[in-house]
């Protein structure tokens, strides 16, 4: 687990956030999925770093990388 991404049940309902902020990983991903560049995101949220954004992307990649078992 990356130390830049934390889960605290008392912050943002226990959703994954960037450490030291109330910025949810999903907020970063939503912004990047829209026509917002990383540079624009960093300009709008100066408390985020490029490493924070990369950590969010890595977290998301791990979250969707799981086996799918289908019953036959």
Report pLDDT digits (tens) over 14-54.
Answer: 999 999 999 999 999 999 999 899 999 999 999 999 999 99
Report pLDDT digits (tens) over 2-18.
Answer: 799 999 999 999 999 99
pTM: 0.86
Q: In which band, very low, low, confident or very high, does the pLDDT at 1 lie, cut at 50, 70 and 90?
A: low
CB 18 within 8 A of CB 56: yes
CB 70 within 8 A of CB 23: no
For residue 12, give every residue at least 6 positions away whose Cβ sits within 8 Å of its Cβ, in sequence order, or none.
Answer: 22, 24
Q: In which band, very low, low, confident or very high, does the pLDDT at 72 lie, cut at 50, 70 and 90?
A: confident
Q: ∠ CA 26-27-28 to the nearest 5 degrees?
A: 90
CB 59 within 8 A of CB 25: yes
Domains, the chain, in order of start with CATH, read: 5-64 (1.10.10.10)
Tell which residue, 8, 12, 53, 15, has the closest CA to residue 31: 53
């Amino acid at each position: 687990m990356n130390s830049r991404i934390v889960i605290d049940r008392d912050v943002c309902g226990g959703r994954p956030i960037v450490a030291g902020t109330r910025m949810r990983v999903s907020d970063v991903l939503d912004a990047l999925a829209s026509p917002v560049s990383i540079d624009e995101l960093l300009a709008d949220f100066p408390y985020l770093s490029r490493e924070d954004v990369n950590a969010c992307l890595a977290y998301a990649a791990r979250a969707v990388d799981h086996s799918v078992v289908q019953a036959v």
